[in-house]
Structure 1
Protein backbone atom coordinates (compact mmCIF):
# COMPACT_ATOMS: atom_id res chain seq x y z
CA UNK A 1 0.00 0.00 0.00
CA UNK A 2 2.75 2.48 0.96
CA UNK A 3 6.22 2.54 -0.46
CA UNK A 4 8.94 2.16 2.19
CA UNK A 5 11.21 5.13 2.91
CA UNK A 6 14.54 4.58 1.17
CA UNK A 7 16.48 7.67 2.19
CA UNK A 8 17.58 8.99 5.55
CA UNK A 9 15.57 11.74 7.12
CA UNK A 10 16.87 15.27 6.68
CA UNK A 11 16.02 15.91 10.33
CA UNK A 12 18.49 13.37 11.68
CA UNK A 13 21.93 13.99 10.22
CA UNK A 14 24.12 10.97 9.56
CA UNK A 15 27.01 12.53 11.48
CA UNK A 16 25.87 14.85 14.28
CA UNK A 17 28.13 17.89 14.66
CA UNK A 18 29.94 17.61 18.01
CA UNK A 19 30.82 21.32 17.89
CA UNK A 20 27.19 22.34 17.86
CA UNK A 21 26.19 23.36 21.41
CA UNK A 22 23.52 21.09 22.82
CA UNK A 23 21.79 21.77 26.11
CA UNK A 24 19.94 19.39 28.32
CA UNK A 25 16.29 19.93 29.23
CA UNK A 26 17.37 21.01 32.72
CA UNK A 27 19.75 23.63 31.32
CA UNK A 28 17.02 24.99 29.06
CA UNK A 29 14.60 25.18 31.98
CA UNK A 30 17.23 26.95 34.10
CA UNK A 31 17.70 29.55 31.36
CA UNK A 32 13.94 30.00 30.97
CA UNK A 33 13.34 30.25 34.73
CA UNK A 34 16.18 32.75 35.16
CA UNK A 35 14.66 34.86 32.38
CA UNK A 36 11.20 34.89 33.95
CA UNK A 37 12.61 35.71 37.39
CA UNK A 38 14.84 38.47 35.94
CA UNK A 39 11.81 40.00 34.21
CA UNK A 40 9.87 39.79 37.49
CA UNK A 41 12.81 41.46 39.25
CA UNK A 42 12.71 44.33 36.75
CA UNK A 43 9.00 44.89 37.32
CA UNK A 44 9.54 44.63 41.09
CA UNK A 45 12.24 47.30 40.88
CA UNK A 46 9.84 49.52 38.91
CA UNK A 47 7.18 49.03 41.58
CA UNK A 48 9.73 49.79 44.29
CA UNK A 49 10.52 53.12 42.65
CA UNK A 50 6.79 54.03 42.54
CA UNK A 51 5.69 52.60 45.89
CA UNK A 52 8.62 51.89 48.19
CA UNK A 53 7.95 49.11 50.69
CA UNK A 54 9.89 46.63 52.76
CA UNK A 55 8.03 43.71 51.16
CA UNK A 56 9.11 44.75 47.66
CA UNK A 57 12.70 45.31 48.85
CA UNK A 58 12.83 41.82 50.35
CA UNK A 59 11.22 40.29 47.27
CA UNK A 60 13.71 42.04 44.98
CA UNK A 61 16.67 40.72 46.96
CA UNK A 62 15.28 37.19 46.98
CA UNK A 63 14.59 37.35 43.24
CA UNK A 64 18.13 38.62 42.58
CA UNK A 65 19.54 35.74 44.65
CA UNK A 66 17.53 33.16 42.69
CA UNK A 67 18.54 34.63 39.32
CA UNK A 68 22.20 34.62 40.38
CA UNK A 69 21.91 30.99 41.52
CA UNK A 70 20.39 29.93 38.20
CA UNK A 71 23.01 31.86 36.23
CA UNK A 72 25.94 30.31 38.05
CA UNK A 73 26.59 33.19 40.44
CA UNK A 74 26.29 36.03 37.92
CA UNK A 75 24.28 38.81 39.53
CA UNK A 76 21.42 40.24 37.45
CA UNK A 77 21.52 43.79 36.18
CA UNK A 78 19.21 45.89 38.30
CA UNK A 79 16.91 48.59 36.96
CA UNK A 80 17.44 52.03 38.44
CA UNK A 81 14.57 53.99 36.98
CA UNK A 82 13.09 57.19 38.23
CA UNK A 83 9.45 57.04 39.26
CA UNK A 84 7.23 58.03 36.33
CA UNK A 85 3.55 57.52 35.79
CA UNK A 86 2.29 57.57 39.34
CA UNK A 87 -0.75 55.64 40.48
CA UNK A 88 -1.99 54.97 36.96
CA UNK A 89 1.04 52.76 36.30
CA UNK A 90 0.92 50.73 39.54
CA UNK A 91 -2.04 48.47 38.71
CA UNK A 92 -0.69 47.40 35.29
CA UNK A 93 2.72 46.70 36.84
CA UNK A 94 1.11 44.47 39.48
CA UNK A 95 -0.78 42.61 36.74
CA UNK A 96 2.41 42.15 34.72
CA UNK A 97 4.30 40.98 37.82
CA UNK A 98 1.47 38.54 38.61
CA UNK A 99 1.68 37.07 35.09
CA UNK A 100 5.48 36.80 35.21
CA UNK A 101 5.37 35.12 38.61
CA UNK A 102 2.84 32.64 37.20
CA UNK A 103 5.14 31.79 34.30
CA UNK A 104 8.07 31.39 36.67
CA UNK A 105 5.98 29.10 38.87
CA UNK A 106 5.12 26.83 35.94
CA UNK A 107 8.77 26.49 34.93
CA UNK A 108 9.97 26.09 38.52
CA UNK A 109 7.43 23.32 39.09
CA UNK A 110 8.44 21.53 35.90
CA UNK A 111 12.09 21.51 36.93
CA UNK A 112 11.25 20.70 40.58
CA UNK A 113 12.92 23.85 41.93
CA UNK A 114 11.25 24.23 45.30
CA UNK A 115 12.89 27.53 46.29
CA UNK A 116 11.95 29.28 43.04
CA UNK A 117 8.44 27.77 43.11
CA UNK A 118 7.80 29.01 46.65
CA UNK A 119 9.12 32.49 45.82
CA UNK A 120 7.01 32.63 42.66
CA UNK A 121 3.87 31.53 44.51
CA UNK A 122 4.47 34.15 47.21
CA UNK A 123 4.85 36.85 44.54
CA UNK A 124 1.65 35.70 42.81
CA UNK A 125 -0.22 36.08 46.10
CA UNK A 126 1.35 39.47 46.86
CA UNK A 127 0.59 40.93 43.43
CA UNK A 128 -2.93 39.50 43.40
CA UNK A 129 -3.57 41.13 46.78
CA UNK A 130 -2.06 44.42 45.60
CA UNK A 131 -4.21 44.35 42.46
CA UNK A 132 -7.32 43.83 44.55
CA UNK A 133 -6.61 46.84 46.81
CA UNK A 134 -8.21 50.12 45.75
CA UNK A 135 -5.63 52.71 44.67
CA UNK A 136 -5.73 55.87 46.80
CA UNK A 137 -6.51 59.00 44.80
CA UNK A 138 -3.55 61.33 44.91
Structure 2
Protein backbone atom coordinates (compact mmCIF):
# COMPACT_ATOMS: atom_id res chain seq x y z
CA UNK A 1 0.00 0.00 0.00
CA UNK A 2 2.82 2.41 0.85
CA UNK A 3 5.89 2.84 -1.28
CA UNK A 4 9.22 2.44 0.56
CA UNK A 5 11.36 5.51 1.16
CA UNK A 6 14.06 5.71 -1.50
CA UNK A 7 15.95 8.79 -0.39
CA UNK A 8 18.11 9.35 2.66
CA UNK A 9 16.53 10.97 5.65
CA UNK A 10 17.03 14.70 6.06
CA UNK A 11 17.85 13.96 9.68
CA UNK A 12 21.14 12.20 8.97
CA UNK A 13 24.31 14.09 9.74
CA UNK A 14 26.65 15.50 7.14
CA UNK A 15 29.45 13.53 8.76
CA UNK A 16 27.78 10.27 7.83
CA UNK A 17 26.92 7.98 10.70
CA UNK A 18 25.99 9.24 14.12
CA UNK A 19 29.19 7.81 15.59
CA UNK A 20 31.39 10.13 13.48
CA UNK A 21 31.25 12.87 16.11
CA UNK A 22 31.57 12.73 19.89
CA UNK A 23 28.56 12.77 22.14
CA UNK A 24 28.44 13.64 25.81
CA UNK A 25 26.06 12.16 28.28
CA UNK A 26 23.66 14.29 30.31
CA UNK A 27 25.88 13.78 33.36
CA UNK A 28 28.95 15.02 31.48
CA UNK A 29 27.06 18.08 30.28
CA UNK A 30 25.89 18.81 33.82
CA UNK A 31 29.45 18.39 35.11
CA UNK A 32 30.67 20.94 32.58
CA UNK A 33 27.86 23.34 33.46
CA UNK A 34 28.36 22.95 37.21
CA UNK A 35 32.12 23.43 36.91
CA UNK A 36 31.50 26.62 34.95
CA UNK A 37 29.13 28.05 37.56
CA UNK A 38 31.47 27.15 40.41
CA UNK A 39 34.46 28.61 38.54
CA UNK A 40 32.54 31.87 38.03
CA UNK A 41 31.63 31.87 41.73
CA UNK A 42 35.30 31.30 42.54
CA UNK A 43 36.29 34.32 40.42
CA UNK A 44 33.81 36.54 42.27
CA UNK A 45 34.97 35.11 45.59
CA UNK A 46 38.57 35.98 44.68
CA UNK A 47 37.46 39.53 43.86
CA UNK A 48 35.71 39.80 47.22
CA UNK A 49 38.81 38.43 48.96
CA UNK A 50 40.85 41.24 47.39
CA UNK A 51 38.38 43.88 48.59
CA UNK A 52 37.51 42.49 52.00
CA UNK A 53 39.88 39.73 53.11
CA UNK A 54 38.43 37.18 55.51
CA UNK A 55 39.11 33.64 56.63
CA UNK A 56 35.60 32.61 55.52
CA UNK A 57 36.25 33.77 51.95
CA UNK A 58 39.67 32.07 51.94
CA UNK A 59 38.10 28.77 53.02
CA UNK A 60 35.28 29.16 50.50
CA UNK A 61 37.77 29.82 47.69
CA UNK A 62 39.75 26.69 48.56
CA UNK A 63 36.61 24.56 48.67
CA UNK A 64 35.31 25.99 45.39
CA UNK A 65 38.66 25.37 43.69
CA UNK A 66 38.64 21.78 44.94
CA UNK A 67 35.12 21.16 43.58
CA UNK A 68 35.98 22.69 40.20
CA UNK A 69 39.11 20.53 39.99
CA UNK A 70 37.07 17.43 40.88
CA UNK A 71 34.49 18.17 38.20
CA UNK A 72 37.18 18.86 35.60
CA UNK A 73 38.98 15.59 36.16
CA UNK A 74 41.67 16.95 38.48
CA UNK A 75 42.58 20.07 36.50
CA UNK A 76 42.67 23.05 38.86
CA UNK A 77 40.79 26.19 37.80
CA UNK A 78 42.68 29.16 36.40
CA UNK A 79 42.77 32.01 38.86
CA UNK A 80 43.61 35.58 38.02
CA UNK A 81 44.56 38.44 40.27
CA UNK A 82 41.62 40.74 40.84
CA UNK A 83 41.59 44.42 39.94
CA UNK A 84 39.44 44.99 43.06
CA UNK A 85 37.56 47.89 41.50
CA UNK A 86 34.03 46.60 42.00
CA UNK A 87 31.53 47.39 44.72
CA UNK A 88 31.51 44.66 47.41
CA UNK A 89 27.70 44.70 47.63
CA UNK A 90 27.37 44.15 43.88
CA UNK A 91 29.91 41.34 44.10
CA UNK A 92 27.92 39.68 46.90
CA UNK A 93 24.74 39.90 44.82
CA UNK A 94 26.52 38.40 41.81
CA UNK A 95 28.04 35.65 43.97
CA UNK A 96 24.60 34.89 45.45
CA UNK A 97 23.15 34.54 41.95
CA UNK A 98 26.01 32.31 40.77
CA UNK A 99 25.72 30.13 43.85
CA UNK A 100 22.01 29.74 43.15
CA UNK A 101 22.70 28.62 39.60
CA UNK A 102 25.32 26.17 40.83
CA UNK A 103 22.84 24.84 43.40
CA UNK A 104 20.23 24.16 40.72
CA UNK A 105 22.69 22.23 38.55
CA UNK A 106 24.18 20.37 41.52
CA UNK A 107 20.71 19.32 42.63
CA UNK A 108 19.79 18.14 39.15
CA UNK A 109 22.87 15.92 38.97
CA UNK A 110 22.51 14.82 42.62
CA UNK A 111 25.96 16.12 43.59
CA UNK A 112 25.56 16.49 47.34
CA UNK A 113 28.98 18.01 48.04
CA UNK A 114 28.58 20.72 45.40
CA UNK A 115 24.98 21.39 46.43
CA UNK A 116 25.93 21.86 50.08
CA UNK A 117 28.80 24.17 49.14
CA UNK A 118 26.57 26.22 46.82
CA UNK A 119 23.86 26.51 49.48
CA UNK A 120 26.42 27.61 52.08
CA UNK A 121 27.74 30.26 49.70
CA UNK A 122 24.21 31.48 48.97
CA UNK A 123 23.61 31.88 52.70
CA UNK A 124 26.94 33.66 53.21
CA UNK A 125 26.44 36.08 50.34
CA UNK A 126 22.78 36.61 51.18
CA UNK A 127 23.77 37.62 54.72
CA UNK A 128 26.49 40.01 53.50
CA UNK A 129 26.12 43.64 54.55
CA UNK A 130 23.78 45.63 52.32
CA UNK A 131 24.62 49.10 51.05
CA UNK A 132 23.42 51.94 53.22
CA UNK A 133 20.42 53.61 51.66
CA UNK A 134 19.96 57.35 51.44
CA UNK A 135 19.72 58.96 54.83
CA UNK A 136 16.45 60.52 55.81
CA UNK A 137 16.43 64.21 56.41
CA UNK A 138 14.88 65.27 59.66
CA UNK A 139 12.49 68.14 59.54
CA UNK A 140 13.16 70.94 61.94
CA UNK A 141 9.92 71.77 63.44
TM class by smaller structure: 0.7 to 0.9
- What residue in structure 2 maps to residue 115 of structure 1? 113
Q: Which consecutive residues of structure 1, in runs of 5 or more, have no partner in the other structure?
A: 1-5
Structure with bigger helix share is 1
- Structure-to-structure mapping, 1:71-82, within 5 angstroms: 71-82=72-83
TM-score by length of 2: 0.82
- What residue in structure 2 maps to residue 29 of structure 1? 30
| Cα shift readout 1:69-128 (whole Å, capped 9, x = no counterpart) | 00000000112124324xxx1111000000000000000000000000000000000000
RMSD (Å) for aligned C-alpha atoms: 2.3
Would the aligned equivalents of 1:94 and 1:127 in 2 still touch at CA under 8 Å? yes
Q: Which consecutive residues of structure 2, in runs of 5 or more, have no partner in the other structure?
A: 133-141
> How many matched pairs?
129
Note if 1:16 corresponds to 2:17.
Answer: yes
Would the aligned equivalents of 2:89 and 2:130 in 1 still touch at CA under 8 Å? no
Please list every run of at least 4 consecutive aligned residues from structure 1 whose deviation after the TM superposition is greater than 4 angstroms.
6-9
TM-score by length of 1: 0.84
Report SS of the residue matched to 1:112.
Answer: coil
Report SS of the residue matched to 1:97.
Answer: helix
Partners of 2:106 and 2:12 lie apart in 1 by 31
Would the aligned equivalents of 1:49 and 1:83 in 2 still touch at CA under 8 Å? yes
| Cα shift readout 1:2-46 (whole Å, capped 9, x = no counterpart) | xxxx66652355x53323010000000000000000000000000
Would the aligned equivalents of 1:95 and 1:127 in 2 still touch at CA under 8 Å? yes
